[in-house]
């Protein structure tokens, strides 16, 4: 996300760098943020909306547009580029990732077969027997829509 930030200290006559812009530039450094070993995560907020974006500041360019007679910069625009950041749990929820080494559940839909379910979960339709055995299915061709099957883990089993 690209955003321009505008700072003005003309009325108070102070250096815009020490009052504002250096604090933004410091967000690109790793020092001073403990054991993070990365720049801090920034939350962009807007009025009552609150936080509308979380990201890491990747790039900043600073442009001074007004100076006092002694050369002190009192107005600046920062062009900032942020890279979106999500926590591991937010990213997992967004991607809906599931691991084949953890038991999962599958709700049977009309037209499902054990082979198609095995192909979906294991990427190998020949592994349907693992699902049948796990669910004590006497007749693997008798699946009922709405039936919930346990999809067993693959740990300790060889994939073909």
Together in a domain, 63 and 130: no
Together in a domain, 84 and 108: no
What is the token pair recorded at 86? 């999500």
Q: What 3-state DSSP class applies to 102? A: coil
What was the pLDDT predicted at 95? 61
Residue-wise pLDDT for 74-109, tens only, equals: 999 999 999 888 776 666 666 655 555 567 889 999
In a domain, 37, yes or no: yes
Residue-wise pLDDT for 15-37, tens only, equals: 999 999 999 998 888 766 666 66
Together in a domain, 65 and 129: no
E strand or H helix at 47, and its extent? none
Instruction: Residue 39: count other Cβ atoms within 10 Å of its Cβ.
Output: 18
Dihedral of alpha carbons 14, 15, 21, 22, sign: negative
Together in a domain, 7 and 65: yes
What was the pLDDT predicted at 59? 94
Domain count, the chain: 2
In a domain, 160, yes or no: no
Report, as an integer, the average pLDDT of 133-145. Answer: 89
Task: Please identify, among 93, 121, 143, the residue that sits at the C-terminal boundary of a domain.
Answer: 93
Instruction: Residue 5: count other Cβ atoms within 10 Å of its Cβ.
Output: 15
Domain with 120, as residue range(s), is 98-151
Report, as an integer, the average pLDDT of 59-68. Answer: 97
Together in a domain, 43 and 17: yes
Integer Cα distance of 145 and 120 in angstroms: 17
In a domain, 158, yes or no: no
Using CA atoms in the order 115, 119, 123, 126, what is the torsion angle rounded to 10 degrees?
A: 10
In a domain, 156, yes or no: no
Which phi and psi angles does 35 have, rounded to 5°?
-90, 15
In a domain, 103, yes or no: yes
Together in a domain, 34 and 88: yes
Strand partners, 45: 51
Report, as an integer, the average pLDDT of 31-53. Answer: 78
Together in a domain, 77 and 110: no
In a domain, 128, yes or no: yes
What is the token pair recorded at 20? 């504002």
Together in a domain, 63 and 7: yes
Q: Which residue has the higher pLDDT, 28 or 12?
A: 12
8-state DSSP, 37: -
Q: What is the CATH number of the domain that holds 104?
A: 3.10.350.10
- Average model confidence (pLDDT) for the chain? 85
């Amino acid at each position: 996300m690209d955003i321009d930030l505008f700072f003005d200290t003309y009325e108070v006559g102070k250096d815009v760098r020490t009052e504002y812009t250096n604090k933004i530039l410091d967000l690109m450094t790793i020092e001073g943020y403990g054991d993070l070993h990365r720049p801090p995560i920034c939350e962009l907020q807007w009025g009552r909306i609150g936080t509308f974006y979380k990201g890491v500041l990747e790039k900043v360019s600073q442009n001074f547009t007004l100076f006092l007679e002694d050369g002190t910069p009192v107005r600046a625009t920062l062009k900032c580029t942020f890279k979106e950041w999500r926590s591991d749990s937010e990213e997992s929820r967004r991607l809906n990732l599931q691991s084949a080494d953890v038991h999962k559940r599958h709700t049977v839909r009309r037209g499902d077969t054990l082979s198609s379910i095995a192909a979906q979960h294991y990427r190998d339709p020949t592994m349907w027997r693992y699902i049948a055995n796990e669910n004590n299915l006497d007749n693997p061709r008798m699946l009922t829509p709405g039936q919930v099957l346990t999809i067993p883990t693959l740990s300790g089993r060889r994939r073909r």
